[in-house]
Each structure stands twice: as C-alpha cells, then as structure tokens.
Structure 1
Amino acid sequence: MLATMGQCMPLSPTPPQEPERRKLAGFLRRRKQFVEARKAEKLRRHSAGHPEILRDIDSLIALFDRRIAKLDKRIAAIIAASPQLKEQARLLSQVPGIGPTVLATLLGELPELAHLDRRRIASLAGLAPHARESGTWKGARRIWGGRRKVREALYIAALTATRRVPALIALRDRMRAAGKAPKTILIAAARQLLVILNAMIRHRQTIRL
C-alpha cells in the first residue's frame, strides 16, 4: 500500500540532514536536558526542609549552570565552524527576539527553513491552524502537531518581536482591537515571525521589518 501511494502521489525525497545540523541538534537536546534538570532542582529547593539539603541542591544547580554555559559555547562554535550556518545565523540574529538559544534551535531543529513555502513551514513548526471537521460538523480551527521545540522557541522570540518589530506590533494591535485572546495573538505573531525568517534565509538578505 505504501509503495502504491509513493507511485500515485507527487512525493519528493527528503534530503538527509547535514552533519553539522545533526551535531547541533544533538547538543541542543543535551542542553535542554540540563535545563529541565535545573528547573526540577529549583522547584525542589522550595521544599528542601533542611540547610544541608538546601546546600546540596544549590551546588547541583550551580553545576548545571556551568554545564549549560559550556554547552552554549560548544553550540556557538559549531555554528561558527560551518559557513552555511554562520551566514544564516548572521541574518537571523538581526531580527529582534532571535537570541542565541532561539537561533540555535531554528538552525538545528528546522533545517527546512528557506526550502518550504510559508504555509508548509508554518505547519511544520506547528503554527498553522488546521480545520476540525467530521461529516457536517465543523469545529474551530486550531494548531496542532509540528515540532514543539521550534514552536516554543518562536513563542519566546515573538514576545520580544511584538514590542520591537513594526510589522508585528501592527499585527498585535489589530488583533487586540478585534478582541482576540493573548494566546491567539502570540501564535499569529510567532507564525508571521517564522514567515519573515523563512524569507530572509531563502533570499539570503535582511528584510525591511
């Protein structure tokens, strides 16, 4: 059945990910593991109950801080060593809200950036609304699926971009005036930000924001 589908549908092969991006994605996963572990220790700190336990937790948090800082340097070195990643990083970092962690996440977890149109790249990141229908019933369109790490990174970037990028400020203000919920506005801003970044990498130039 799968072979028949491949013959009938206009499918294009997915190119293998470059070694540099695979390496970058691996270090990003390790960084996230440390961040989650540090977050858990910080939560445990509130219920330590004993000074000795508190000191032990604090020493572990400090260890995670050092390891995360070390990984940040390694991630930056991987990007700097690749001409393609370095050039893409130069372009993306000019956009307000695209800090080092968001930048590395986009480069490592979204290699399709610049290779897909605006609708497909938004869907891949889990930022495109999809219909919810069954027979004659039609529900509200919602976002679902996609790459959670990329979506979360774009949410963080959109929080800053909607205060500094004129196009996104205008989008935010229009949606607020229309009575849209804050989460809906954030999703729309993150999606539009991704469209801007996608175009920048595709055309290899900064877009007037």
Structure 2
Amino acid sequence: IHGVGRITAIELMSTMPELGSMSGKQAASLAGLAPHPRDSGSLSRKRFIRPGRRNAKTILFMAALTAARSKSRLGDFYRNLVERGKRKIVAITALMRKIIVIANARIRDMKIQQQS
C-alpha cells in the first residue's frame, strides 16, 4: 500500500491486532475513522468521526500524508477529492479510512491464503 512502509505496518499491527478478522467498516470504526450519523427524524446533521484508537489514527495520518503526495491511485483519490471541493483535512481523513480498509482486506486475504 502506498504510504505504508515496514515500520508503519508493524506499528499498525501492534496497535490493531484485530485487523483481518473484521469487515472494513468495523476496522474503520475501531480506528476512529468511520463517519457516525447524528440524525433524528427528518433532521440530518453533519457526520463526524468518533474517537477510536489514538495511536492508530496517528500512524494512519502519516501514512495518508505520504500516500497523498504519491503518484498512485491513493494520491489520485486524494487529489480528486480536493478538486471536487472537499477540505484537505477531510480528504486526508477519507484517505486514512481507505488505507485501513485496504490493509484489513490484505491481511484477511493473507490469512486465508496461509490456511490453504
């Protein structure tokens, strides 16, 4: 994954050992990167991310900054969000969520492959 090096991967695995055994939405929520609605009836409010594992957020933030500057699909994803009018911090948060979902899926696939 662009932006995730060896040390970042090790720190992420030590912070979130559950990775690979849950869905992408659950992984994002555990890291504190899933938008939670605060709607009531016909009232629809802005969605905020809730506190999650602070260390995981810090690790993912640095990985997202690196990925945003790269010439990869993740960098294109970030630039596309900014061009569409999203604030840069919102785009970085979306990139952080995307990285944790990709990492969760890759770890899950590696576990399945090792079992076979």
TM-score bracket for the superposition, by shorter chain length = 0.7 to 0.9
1:97 corresponding residue in structure 2 = 3
- 2:92 maps to amino acid: L
TM-superposed deviation, 1:97: 2.2
**Which residue in 1 is equivalent to 2:70?**
164
Give SS of 1:137's match.
coil
Deviation at 1:106, TM superposition (A): 0.9
Question: In angstroms, what is the RMSD of aligned CA positions?
Answer: 1.9
Q: Which fold has the larger relative contact order, with Cα–Cα distance below 8 Å and residues 6 or more apart in sequence?
A: 2
Higher helix share: 1
Partner amino acid, structure 2, of 1:163: R
Provide the rounded CA distance (Å) in 2 between the counterparts of 1:183 and 1:153.
15
Name the aligned partner's letter for residue 127 of structure 1. L
**Alignment length (residue pairs):** 111
Gaps of 5+ in 1: 1-94
Residues 98 and 157, structure 1, Cα contact 8 Å, conserved in 2: yes
Q: Distance in 2 between matches of 1:204 and 1:169?
A: 25
Secondary structure of the residue that 2:3 maps to in structure 1?
coil
User: 1:113 and 1:165, CA in 2 relative to 1: closer, same or farther beyond 3 A?
Assistant: farther
Residue 96 of structure 1: how far off its partner (Å): 3.2
TM, length-normalised to structure 2: 0.84
Q: Which amino acid aligns with 2:69?
A: R
Match of 2:35 among 116, 129, 133: 129
Q: 2:58 corresponds to which letter in structure 1? A: E
Matched residue, 1:145 = 51
Higher mean alpha-carbon deviation, 151-160 vs 165-174, is at 165-174
Q: Would the aligned equivalents of 2:68 and 2:79 in 1 still touch at CA under 8 Å?
A: no
Match of 2:84 in 1: 178
Q: Which runs of 5+ in 2 are unaligned?
A: 112-116
Q: 1:195 aligns with which of 68, 90, 101?
A: 101
Percent sequence identity over matched residues? 37
Partner SS, residue 37 of structure 2:
strand
Q: In 2, Cα distance between the equivalents of 1:197 and 1:157? A: 12
**Distance change (3 Å), C-alpha of 1:165 and 1:200:** farther
Instruction: Measure how far apart 1:100 and its partner are.
Output: 4.9
CA distance in 2, matches of 1:165, 1:147: 29
1:160 partner amino acid: T
TM-score between both structures, scaled by the size of structure 1:
0.49
Which residue identity does 1:120 align to in structure 2?
A: Q
Structure 2 letter corresponding to 1:173: R
Aligned to 1:155: 61
